[in-house]
């Protein structure tokens, strides 16, 4: 297995490949080990133990803050572990951690099966499921980690073990949304699958930002009555390139309402989306596209345009109980001062979360009716300071209404209690107890920057 030490000539290129965000942290592992098999992972863990090195893990490298890069220690790069096998009869799959969302969705589609894979084409399931996993058709299929039935992992003793409902069940609980501080290397996720929807239908409405106050109260009132098969997102952002061409003029941000419905027929999905075509200011929509059938490939292409590669990102997502209208009005005003026109806000107005008694036991435990994502996006390192300041101040302006954070897309380095604030009360403490039990020497790095 390739082992790259800090003094090796290809060290810096290898290190930089570990992080998708162009804003690569100045943290330097002693050694980066690229594994291709279970046995490699066992060997790597034993090597780290023998050298007194702590271990960090990387699957798809999409942590916005590059949590896998630590100062010192060993980084185990799993990126070649990206296979999947499907048991069609049992409607389950066994997937390796570095499989990307697009690869997983394509493999399952061959069998007319599906999984709530994440929205971005290139995110890998390794970190996504540990974070919780906000994926496609979440209303129908649940938060992605609730569909993890078991995991196979290498523990701190270098042993290959399984965690399921009967064995090491607290490790399975931790893997379902406990975040990037897991005490082991997960080799395989055993996943529950669903019949693939026969139809995915999309609508797209683009409005001037000035109409926020005319749209958001209507949407907030409508949302509780929408079928759970409907997913909708509000974007305060530059429009996708195809829509931008339609709008012409100089580049500027708009309010885009993007609803989707999953179902068995065009009639069913169109009916599910019908209420979204009743906005009181519909006649002022600059773009109105209703009931367009789309594939997962189409959806991934849209997401790839929303989060372009090769950029510098600062990202924060909060959960809130606040009235969405003043929140969005305030964010519109803040966006007007953003140093980069590429910076954007994504908002999901959802029904109040309910506790599903049939849901599996899981660490994932933070949710509220309003989900606000602030994505600061820019091109050059010379613009870091201005953009980082704007981002920090924007999230600060949201503090009074912040109930909690989303573990998968929050900046854990912003506060030593940020991971705890991304979980329900008591969950962080239980996670730490599990870490101490399975990894008493602290061989595996915990959540970065946490007390």
Ligand X SMILES: Cc1cc2nc3c(=O)[nH]c(=O)nc-3n(C[C@H](O)[C@H](O)[C@H](O)COP(=O)(O)OP(=O)(O)OC[C@H]3O[C@@H](n4cnc5c(N)ncnc54)[C@H](O)[C@@H]3O)c2cc1C
CA distance 121 to 123: 6
> Residue length, the chain?
451
Smallest separation (angstroms) from ligand X to the CB of 286:
26
Is 84 a binding residue for ligand X by CB under 6 A? The answer is no
Is 307 a binding residue for ligand X by CB under 6 A? The answer is yes
CA distance 382 to 378: 10
> How many positions of this chain bind ligand X (CB under 6 A)?
33
Applying CB under 6 A, among 44, 45, 48, 59 the residue interacting with ligand X is 59
Binding mask 357-396 toward ligand X (x if CB under 6 A, else -) reads ----------------------------------------
Applying CB under 6 A, among 63, 146, 350, 402 the residue interacting with ligand X is 63
Binding mask 168-207 toward ligand X (x if CB under 6 A, else -) reads ------------x-x--xx---------------------
Give the sign of the dihedral formed by CA 116, CA 120, CA 123, CA 129. Answer: negative
| Joined tokens for residue 174 | 């931790």
Smallest separation (angstroms) from ligand X to the CB of 255:
20
Applying CB under 6 A, among 25, 29, 73, 126 the residue interacting with ligand X is 126
Stretch that binds ligand X, among 127-135, 209-217, 230-238, 414-422 (CB under 6 A): 127-135
CA distance 333 to 328: 9
Smallest separation (angstroms) from ligand X to the CB of 248:
28
Closest CA to 159 of 74, 78, 39, 77: 39
Applying CB under 6 A, among 31, 35, 45, 64 the residue interacting with ligand X is 64
Between 68 and 269, name the residue whose CB sits nearer to ligand X: 68
| Joined tokens for residue 323 | 């009235």
Binding mask 256-295 toward ligand X (x if CB under 6 A, else -) reads ----------------------------------------
Binding mask 1-20 toward ligand X (x if CB under 6 A, else -) reads -------------------x
Is 67 a binding residue for ligand X by CB under 6 A? The answer is yes
Is 116 a binding residue for ligand X by CB under 6 A? The answer is no
Smallest separation (angstroms) from ligand X to the CB of 340:
16
Applying CB under 6 A, among 29, 73, 116, 408 the residue interacting with ligand X is 408
Applying CB under 6 A, among 23, 62, 190, 311 the residue interacting with ligand X is 62
Stretch that binds ligand X, among 7-15, 54-62, 331-339, 416-424 (CB under 6 A): 54-62
Say how far residue 313 (Cα) sits from the centre of its chain. 14
Stretch that binds ligand X, among 115-123, 324-332, 335-343, 377-385 (CB under 6 A): 115-123
Applying CB under 6 A, among 60, 116, 259, 373 the residue interacting with ligand X is 60
Between 76 and 203, name the residue whose CB sits nearer to ligand X: 76
β-pairing, 55-58 with 74-77? parallel
Stretch that binds ligand X, among 39-47, 120-128, 365-373, 388-396 (CB under 6 A): 120-128
Is 33 a binding residue for ligand X by CB under 6 A? The answer is no
CA distance 410 to 398: 14
Applying CB under 6 A, among 92, 102, 134, 232 the residue interacting with ligand X is 134
Is 58 a binding residue for ligand X by CB under 6 A? The answer is yes
Binding mask 91-110 toward ligand X (x if CB under 6 A, else -) reads ------x-------------
How far is CA 56 from each of CA 289, 327, 363, rounded to the nearest angstrom? 45, 37, 21
Between 41 and 201, name the residue whose CB sits nearer to ligand X: 41
Is 409 a binding residue for ligand X by CB under 6 A? The answer is yes
- Interface residues toward ligand X, by CB under 6 A: 20, 56-64, 67-68, 78, 97, 118-120, 123-124, 126-128, 130-131, 133-134, 180, 182, 185-186, 307, 408-409
């Amino acid at each position: 297995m390739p082992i790259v030490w800090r003094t090796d000539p290809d060290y810096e290129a290898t290190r930089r490949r570990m992080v998708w965000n162009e804003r690569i942290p100045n943290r330097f592992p002693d050694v980066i080990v690229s594994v291709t098999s279970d046995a490699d992972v066992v060997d790597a863990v034993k090597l780290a133990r023998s050298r007194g090195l702590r271990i960090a893990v990387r699957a798809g490298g999409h942590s916005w803050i590059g949590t896998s890069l630590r100062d010192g220690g060993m980084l185990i790069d799993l990126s070649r572990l990206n296979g999947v096998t499907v048991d069609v009869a049992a409607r389950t799959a066994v997937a390796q951690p570095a499989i990307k969302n697009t690869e997983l969705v394509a493999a399952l589609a061959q069998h007319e099966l599906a999984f709530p894979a994440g929205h971005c084409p290139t995110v890998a399931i390794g970190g996504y499921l540990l974070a919780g996993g906000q994926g496609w058709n979440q209303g129908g299929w649940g938060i992605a980690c609730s569909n993890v039935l078991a995991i196979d992992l290498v523990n701190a003793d270098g042993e290959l073990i399984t965690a399921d409902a009967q064995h090491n069940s607290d490790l399975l609980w931790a893997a379902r949304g406990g975040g990037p501080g897991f005490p082991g290397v997960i080799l395989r996720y055993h996943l529950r699958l669903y019949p693939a929807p026969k139809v995915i239908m999309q609508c797209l409405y683009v409005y001037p930002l000035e109409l926020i106050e005319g749209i958001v109260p209507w949407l907030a009132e409508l949302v509780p009555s929408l079928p759970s098969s409907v997913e909708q997102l509000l974007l305060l952002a530059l429009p996708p390139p195809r829509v931008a061409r339609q709008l012409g003029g100089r580049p500027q941000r708009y309010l885009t309402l993007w609803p989707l419905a999953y179902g068995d027929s065009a009639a069913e999905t169109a009916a599910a989306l019908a209420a979204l075509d009743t906005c009181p200011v519909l006649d002022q929509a600059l773009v109105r596209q209703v009931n367009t059938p789309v594939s997962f490939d189409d959806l991934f292409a849209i997401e790839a345009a929303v989060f372009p590669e090769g950029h510098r990102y600062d990202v924060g997502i909060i959960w809130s109980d606040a009235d969405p209208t003043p929140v969005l009005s305030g964010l519109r005003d803040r966006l007007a001062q953003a140093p980069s026109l590429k910076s954007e806000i994504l908002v999901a107005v959802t029904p109040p979360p309910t506790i599903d008694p049939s849901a599996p036991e899981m660490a994932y435990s933070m949710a509220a009716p309003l989900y606000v994502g602030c994505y600061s996006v820019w091109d050059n390192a010379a613009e870091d300071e201005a953009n980082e300041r704007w981002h920090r101040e924007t999230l600060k302006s949201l503090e009074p209404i912040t109930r909690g954070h989303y573990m998968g897309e929050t900046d854990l380095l912003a506060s030593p209690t940020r991971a705890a604030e991304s979980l329900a009360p008591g969950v962080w403490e239980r996670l730490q107890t599990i870490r101490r039990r399975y990894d008493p020497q602290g061989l595996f790095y915990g959540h970065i920057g946490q007390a």
